[in-house]
Amino acid sequence: MAVTRTPDDLDMALLTALEEHPRAGFLELSRITGVARATVAARIQRLEEAGIVTGYGPDIDVAAAGFGVQAFVTLEIAQGALDAVREDLEVIDGVLEAHATTGSGDVLCRVAAASHEDLQQVLLEISRSTAVVRSTSVVVLSVLVPLRTLPLLRSSAAPGFGRSPNRP
């Protein structure tokens, strides 16, 4: 289990550099941040061990890859069926992610498809799960704020670090 820790100024500088230059090696990150390469390597290793940096794979735009129809699906599931619904959702290719939630629904899924007809098929596959009692879907019209993490991390960093250049 990863140890929870708040990123400090140097961590934030490295995370920002990694987001802006995802293919940069330690030497380039050292030049960007102005710290020694060994320090960069050690800090990145600590960020990985803490579970803050979880991978270096490419960010994939599913819409650009031909799956331009996305939806959020709220599932109400049978009592105690969380493991069963997880297993069912994991085998449906169109399910991008699923989260156990509080509130009126039990699971919130993000799904993608190439067309509305394909979306309907994904929704039908989800509804075939014996664990699903009811589902409600909303189709995404546009992305207003894409997935982002640095603003949140910056808000907890040391005072004065990570502020927008337009803010004091």
Domain residue ranges in the chain: 9-58, 69-139
Supply the mean pLDDT for the chain.
90
Closest CA to 68 of 144, 20, 132, 140: 140
- In the CATH hierarchy, which top-level class contains the domain 9-58? mainly alpha
Distance between CA atoms of residues 127 and 129, nearest Å? 5
Number of C-beta neighbours around residue 127 at 10 A: 13
**pTM of the shown model:** 0.81
pLDDT at 3 over 60: no
- In the CATH hierarchy, which top-level class contains the domain 69-139? alpha beta
pLDDT at 164 over 90: no
DSSP E strand boundaries for 79-165: 95-100, 107-113, 132-139
In this prediction, residue 167 carries a pLDDT of 44
